[in-house]
Structure 1
Amino acid sequence: MKKFLLILLLLFSLCSLIIFSIDLYFYLVNRYCRFHIGRWGNDNEWINAVEKVCVKWTKRTPTVKITDNSKLIAIDMINGKYRSKTIQSWQIGGILLGLQESNDRVSREAVNKLINSLIKDDGNWRVNPTNVDCGLLSYAVLKNSKDYKKIKPAMDFSISLIEKNICKDGMVAYLTDKSIDERYIDTLGFVCPFLQLYSNLYGEEKFSKISLEQINKYNKYGLLYDTYLPNHAYNPKNKLPLGVYGWGRGVAWYVIGLIDTYIEMKDSDEKFILKQNIKNVADSYINYQREDGGFGSILQNERTYDSSATAVLAYFYSQCYEIFGDKKYLEISNKCLQKLKSVTRITGKVDWCQGDTKGIGVHSQTFDIMPFAQGFTLRAALINLERE
C-alpha cells in the first residue's frame, strides 16, 4: 500500500512539474520576447525579416490561443481549449496572401510546398474544412495556385460548405447552426472575395451575386448610423446590433470583404457602386488613425491599439491608392507600416495583435503575435515597396 501511494505521489509530482514547467516556459517567452522590439534600420531590412518569418511559418504555423488563460495552460491543451483548427485556417490564409506578393524564390517554393501539404494530387483537401472560415484559406490557395482547374474539387468543397450556411435572409451564417440569429462581420472577410474569385474562374455567376448580397445587407443593417463602423454582428430578425461597433479586427474583416471583392470583380454597375462604397469607408477611417500611424482594437478609441487591424488597413489603403490614385491613401498605408515596424520583435515577428474573441462583444485582453497579421503586414509592405 505504501509503495502504491509513493508511486501515486511521484506521478502526481511529475504531472505537476510538467504543468508548471509549461506555464514557466510561456511566462519566460512573454517576459523577454519584446527585448529590443522595434529597433530596425532601413525598411528593406525589416521587410526581409517579416518575410523570413512568414516563410518559416509555412512549415509550422504558431498557435493562436482561443483562451486568455496564462495559468495551467497544459490543462487547456488537454481539454481542447487552447487551439482551434478553424482559427488556424485563416492564419495560414493570411501568410499565403502575404507571400503571394513576393518574387523571392525561397518564398515561392514555400508557398508551393504549403499548398501541396493542403491539397492532394487529385485536387481535394487533405483535411476537409468544417467552417466558413475556410473561405479565406481557399481564396489564398486559389490566388496562389498554378492550376486552378486542378484544385477545383477542393474549391468546390469549400463552396458547398458556404452554401450550406446560407440562411433564408440570404446571408451566410458564421456558425454551422443556421437557427442562431447572428450575422457576423467576420463572414464578409472570409467568404466574399473567395466567392467572387470562384465565380470568375469557374464561370458561376450566382456566387458573385451572393458575395455582393453579403456586403449590401451588412451595409444596411450592420453599420452604425451615419458612419461606416461595423458592429461585431447583428440580429437578422429585429435588425438590432449585437456587440461592439468599431471593433478593430471586425473593421479588418469588413474592408477585406470590400477591397478584395472589388479587385476580383469584372467591370459592371455593381463594381462602380462598390468602388464608391470603398472610397466612403476609406475617407471615414482616416479620422480614426492614431498619431503614431496605428489603428485601435476599438477603432474610435485612440488609446487602444491592435496590429492585426493596422496590418489589414495598411493593405486596404495601399489598394485604395491603386484604385483612386490619391497619395493621401499611400501616406496612410505607409504610416501604418511604420507603426507595425516599431512593434516588430528582433526575430521579425509583428507583435501586439489582439487575440481571438470569446464571443460577441467578448474580446481578448491578450496581445501577441498572429500569423494572419504577419501575412497582411508583408502583403502591404511588398505592394508599397514596388511603388518606390
Structure 2
Amino acid sequence: MSRTRYVKYSLYSIIAALLIIDALWLGSKLWSRIKPAPPPIQYTWKQLNQQYVDSLKSALEKMLLDKDHPGAGMSGEEFDRAMGASMAMMGHTVSFELTQNQRDANVIKTYIDCRLTADGKFKAGLTRLDECMMGWPIIELYLSTQDKKYANAAKEIYAFLDKTASTTKDGTLQYSADNPDDRLVDSLGLVCPFLSYYGKVFNEPKAQELSVRMLKDFLEYGIEPRSGLPCHGFSTSRECPLGLIGWTRGAGWLMLGLTETIRHLPATSSYRQDLCDEFRKLTDTLISWRKADGCWGWNANKPDCHLDTSGSSMIAYSIERAIHSGFLDVSYYLVTDKALACLVKNTRSDGLVDNSLGDSGGVGIYPQIYGPAAWAQGPTTALCILILDRESSSDSRPKNRL
C-alpha cells in the first residue's frame, strides 16, 4: 500500500472513530432523557376531586423540595434557570390564594426563604427574566404574613425589571442580552403577572404600564395575521414576527400574561377593555385549533401533531381564570372541562402530568422529547384548583361534561 493511500485510510479511520464516539455520546444524552412508560392511569374524569389535586401537589413538592428529584429529571441548577421552580410554585400559589391552605404556604415559603437573606435580598442576585416569575408567590406570602422581607424581595424584582427596561431602545424587556432586539413570548408569562400584581399591591402604576406595553406590542407585531396565532417572538428593529407560528406553549405564555394582567388592572383602566377584547379573540382562535381530545398539539396549527400538556394546561388555566375573574363568558367552561379531562387522562398514577414538550432551546428549537415537566404540572394543578372552586359554588354554571 502506498504512503498516500495509507494516510488516506488512516484519516478515514480517525473520522469514523470520531463519528462513532459522537454518536455514542449523543445516544447517551437522548437515552438519559427518555422517560419510562407511565404506570396505568389511576384517575378518570369522574374521580376529579381533592385526592387527585393532592397527588398533583405531592409531585410538585418533590420537584421543588426533593434534591433527588428536582424538576422531574432536570438538575437543580437547570430547574431554577429554566423557570421550572416558578411554574411549579404556580400550582401552590393559586391554591394558597383561594384556600389559604397552610401546606401550600409552607412549600412556597420553604423554597423561597432559602434564596433570601433575613431582610429579603436575593442571595444570588437577579440576572434573568426567568427568575422574576417567583415574584408572584412572593407577593402572596407578603399579603398573608405582612413580613417586610417579602415586600423587599418583590421590590428588588421590580427594580431589576425597571432598570432592565430602561436600558432597551423601546423601554420594554428583552429575554436575552445576546439578542437585544428580540422580544420573546416567554417573557409575557414570566413577568407580566408579577408586574400587574405588583402595581396593584404596591400602588405602582408604572409596573402595570410596562406589563400592558409588552402585551400590546406583542399583539401588534408577534401575531401571524392569517391564522391569528402567536409566533415565538418578534423583532423590534424589523417589526416582524420571529420563529414558529403557533408554538402552543408560547400561546400559553401569552394567554397567561394577558389574563393575569387584566385581572389586576383597575376597572377604570383605559387599557382593560382593549386587552379583554384581545383575550377573547385569541381564546376563540385557539379553540378553533384544538385537537379532538380538547387539548392542543405542541404546534397549535397542526392539530394532528403530538399533544403538549404544558401549553394546553396554560391555555386552559388562563381561560378558567378569566371566567373566574369575570371577563369571559361562563359558556367557556365547556372548553376548560374538556381540556382538564384530557390532562387527567395524561396523569401518571404518581401524580405527574405526562406528555409535556421538552424545554425549548430558543427560537425555532423544539426538541421532540415528552414527559413530566414543571410547566405542565404547575398550570394543571392551578386549573384543577379553580375548577374545584367553581364546582363547589352554588351558582348555576354549566355542568355537562364533554
2:100 pairs with 1:92? no
- The TM-score normalised by the length of structure 2 is 0.80
Query: CA contact under 8 A between 1:62 and 1:371: conserved in structure 2?
Result: no
Give the letter for the 1:99 counterpart.
H
Give the fraction of aligned pairs with identical amino acids, expressed as a percent.
24
1:226, 1:374 → 2: CA distance?
32
Give the one of 373, 381, 387 matched to 1:384. 387
Deviation of the 1:56 alpha carbon: 3.0
Deviation of the 1:359 alpha carbon: 2.0
2:363 pairs with 1:355? no
Query: Which string of whole-angstrom CA distances, capped at 9 and with x for unpartnered residues, describes residues 295-321 of structure 1?
Result: 111111111210001111121121232
1:248, 1:25 → 2: CA distance?
23
SS in 2 for 1:36: coil
SS in 2 for 1:151: helix
For structure 2, the 5+ residue unaligned runs are 1-23, 392-402
SS in 1 for 2:114: helix
1:312, 1:251 → 2: CA distance?
8
For structure 1, the 5+ residue unaligned runs are 1-18, 67-76
1:38, 1:180 → 2: CA distance?
47
2:172, 2:368 → 1: CA distance?
30
2:70 pairs with 1:62? yes
2:170, 2:383 → 1: CA distance?
35
Residue 334 of structure 2 corresponds to: 331
Superposition map of 1:1-388 within 5 A:
30-32=35-37, 34-37=38-41, 39-40=43-44, 42-44=47-49, 45-60=51-66, 62-63=70-71, 83=78, 85-87=80-82, 90-102=83-95, 103=99, 104-145=101-142, 146-147=145-146, 149-166=148-165, 167-177=168-178, 180-267=180-267, 268-304=269-305, 305-322=307-324, 323-324=326-327, 326-388=329-391
Query: Which string of whole-angstrom CA distances, capped at 9 and with x for unpartnered residues, describes residues 27-81 of structure 1?
Result: 697234x121465471123222112212333313624778xxxxxxxxxx8xx9x
Query: CA contact under 8 A between 1:248 and 1:309: conserved in structure 2?
Result: yes
SS in 2 for 1:243: strand
Aligned pairs, number: 353
Residue 4 of structure 1 corresponds to: none
Task: Summarize the Cα distance change of 1:197–1:313 in structure 2 as closer, same or farther, 3 Å threshold.
Answer: same
Deviation of the 1:112 alpha carbon: 2.6
Task: Summarize the Cα distance change of 1:24–1:325 in structure 2 as closer, same or farther, 3 Å threshold.
Answer: closer
Give the letter for the 2:345 counterpart.
S
Query: Which string of whole-angstrom CA distances, capped at 9 and with x for unpartnered residues, describes residues 317-352 of structure 1?
Result: 212322246333111111111111111111110011
1:212, 1:24 → 2: CA distance?
41
Deviation of the 1:220 alpha carbon: 0.8
SS in 2 for 1:30: coil
Query: Which string of whole-angstrom CA distances, capped at 9 and with x for unpartnered residues, describes residues 179-198 of structure 1?
Result: 63211111111111211122
Which stretch of the first structure deviates more once superposed, 195-204 or 259-268? 195-204
Which stretch of the first structure deviates more once superposed, 162-171 or 304-313? 162-171
Deviation of the 1:236 alpha carbon: 1.1
Give the letter for the 2:112 counterpart.
I
Query: CA contact under 8 A between 1:183 and 1:234: conserved in structure 2?
Result: yes
Deviation of the 1:120 alpha carbon: 2.6
Deviation of the 1:216 alpha carbon: 0.8
1:364, 1:315 → 2: CA distance?
24
- The TM-score normalised by the length of structure 1 is 0.83
Deviation of the 1:158 alpha carbon: 1.9
1:319, 1:373 → 2: CA distance?
16
Give the letter for the 1:285 counterpart.
L
Deviation of the 1:287 alpha carbon: 0.5
Task: Summarize the Cα distance change of 1:326–1:239 in structure 2 as closer, same or farther, 3 Å threshold.
Answer: same
2:180, 2:161 → 1: CA distance?
16
1:52, 1:175 → 2: CA distance?
33
